[in-house]
Amino acid sequence: MESTNLARIEFLRWLSARPRSYAETMDAWRTSCPRLSLWEDAMADELIALEGSMVRLTERGKALLAEV
């Protein structure tokens, strides 16, 4: 598995551990590297959703985690 996919899985696992706010998520996972756009890619792939100020896994995100 390539490092980008490993980072994606780690990001989703981190989100699944407990409720996370948008601010906490951005503080922990913000990057200036264009090759590592975890937030943008996860949103585009509908793996996560922003509900108010909270970030949650979607059913698609939960299914991806269940596969690994």
pLDDT at residue 34, rounded to an integer: 64
CATH of the domain at 36: 1.10.10.10
- pLDDT given at position 45: 96
Q: Is 52 exposed, middle or buried (0-12, 13-18, 19+ CB in 10 A)?
A: exposed
User: The domain containing residue 50 runs over which residues?
Assistant: 3-67
Do residues 39 and 32 lie in contact, with contact meaning Cβ atoms separated by under 8 Å?
no
Angle at 49 between CA 46 and CA 54, to 5 degrees: 165
Spatial distance between the Cα atoms of 34 and 63, rounded to a whole number of angstroms:
26
Give the tens place of pLDDT for each residue, 4-25: 689 899 999 999 999 999 999 9
Task: Give the total number of structural domains in the chain.
Answer: 1
Kindly report the backbone phi and psi dihedral angles of residue 39, in degrees, each rounded to the nearest multiple of 5, phi listed first.
-60, -55
